Structure 1
Amino acid sequence: MERNRLDEKKTRAPSGAAVPSAVLTEQLYRAFLEEWAERGFAALSLERVAARAGAGKAAIYRRFPSKLAFADAVLDALGPSVALPEDTGALESDVLSFLLRLRAVLRHPLVRRILPDLHAEAARSKEMRAINTRVAAARRDLGRALLDRAVARGDLPHSLDREHALDLLPATLYWRMVVIGRTPSTKELRTIASSLSAALRRL
């Protein structure tokens, strides 16, 4: 969910104007994220989401039967914005590429505010837990592809504990950016990538 993807379509049509379906859907997605970030999912109002998007509430219900279904669709639509890191040919530089892409996602202010609330809601609601699990699985698939490439190249052993490795890959960056609220520099990411690569080789 990179910054430019969230910011690229802020223009809203005047109330009552015809809006292409795809454009309106993007506007509704952004409005939903803004409302979620400001108020939390529990207090999120679909009426306010519609107003932010310059649309009627009916525009939402034509697309989504409930607030939960709307959240699921928004997170699913934003998923592809995190692409598989490039194959650099070496483990440490692959890990650095992964961290750089993850930092681009986590540094967006909406994402930083929504993620903790998503996890909190997942602890209270089995439906939100299912959504959170699916989002996490998609992210882990990217890390799994990175690890598989490293194993195929001989950079990591075939006996690698992949689940442990997948926990390690994002952990330091997520802790610093989402829990502590500090964005590491590229120099710091290089150090993290070096430490992670060394740890992965020992798993």
Structure 2
Amino acid sequence: MANEEAAGGGPARRAPAGAAVLREDVTEAIREAVFAELAAVGYGRMSMEGIARRAGVGKAAVYRRWRSKLPLVLDLVPAVAAGGLPVPDTGTLHGDVRELLEVAARALSHPVAAQIIPDLLAEAARSPEMAEALRTALRDAQGGIAAAVVGKAVARGELPPSTDPELALAFLAGPVYWHLSVMRSPLPPSQLDALATAVTSALRSPG
């Protein structure tokens, strides 16, 4: 018979017969601890023990969900890649692009994201599994947003039907990542306006 988990290292309560009950509050505490550990020490120095300690749970609670730190981080990569980006609906291509640039800049400027994302990309250069997880997450999350923006612009007659959503994503993500994650320079509203105009013009240019 399996025991129900207890957060904070306290005594576990007896669960009904069957598989172990994985408490959602414990799982969420572990997820938050992973992000905090990644930001504090990086992937290379992160350990399952450190995650458990930061989450206030026993090591068994972490190992019950993930066998090691790699599958744990791979499970959380889609959330990092998506970054909470919404699909804008301003009514114009320029407005949608400007809103996406602003939200992306705000997300990449967050202190935790600023630490985690470059570290995960560096790990992806060493780990094929991490690289594939990042590619899949970006394609499914941000690629879907770019496709939606392009699709609306095509429907409004602002873009030709042949417009490539992947190219649109490159135009959108590239400058923001370059400024904030590589050069570590801010993107004030005036520069976001200029970027939105440049991206919109590039997408409208015949290829």
How far residue 49 of structure 1 moved from its aligned partner, in angstroms, is 0.7
Q: 1:42 to 1:188 in 2, by over 3 A?
A: same
| 1:23 and 2:25 matched | yes
Retained in 1: the 8 A contact 2:82–2:142?
Answer: no
127-136 or 162-171, which moves further after superposition? 162-171
| 1:140 and 2:151 matched | no
Partner of 1:152: 155
How far residue 126 of structure 1 moved from its aligned partner, in angstroms, is 1.0
Relative to the length of structure 1, the TM-score reads 0.85
Partner of 2:68: 66
Partner of 2:201: 198
Q: 1:14 to 1:162 in 2, by over 3 A?
A: closer
1:1-203 paired onto structure 2 within 5 Å: 14-16=8-10, 21-77=23-79, 82-137=84-139, 138-202=141-205, 203=207
Higher normalized contact order (CA 8 Å, seq sep 6+, divided by chain length): 1
Q: Greater CA radius of gyration, 1 or 2?
A: 2
Retained in 1: the 8 A contact 2:172–2:199?
Answer: yes
Number of matched residues?
A: 191
Question: For structure 2, which runs of at least 5 residues remain unmatched after alignment?
Answer: 1-6, 13-21
Identity of aligned residues (%): 37
Partner of 2:18: none
Q: 1:23 to 1:79 in 2, by over 3 A?
A: farther
49-58 or 34-43, which moves further after superposition? 34-43
Retained in 2: the 8 A contact 1:85–1:97?
Answer: no
CA shift digits 1:156-203 (9 cap, x unpaired): 111223332221111111111111112312232122111111111114
Distance 2:8 2:75 in 1: 25
Amino acid at match of 1:197: T
CA shift digits 1:79-100 (9 cap, x unpaired): 6652433211101000011112
CA shift digits 1:10-54 (9 cap, x unpaired): xxx754277x92222222111111211222212211101100111
Amino acid at match of 1:149: K
Q: Secondary structure at the match of 1:40?
A: helix
Relative to the length of structure 2, the TM-score reads 0.83
Q: 1:113 to 1:78 in 2, by over 3 A?
A: closer
Aligned-residue CA RMSD (Å): 2.1
Q: 1:80 to 1:171 in 2, by over 3 A?
A: closer
Distance 1:85 1:142 in 2: 6
Retained in 2: the 8 A contact 1:82–1:102?
Answer: no
Distance 1:73 1:17 in 2: 28
Q: 1:142 to 1:17 in 2, by over 3 A?
A: farther
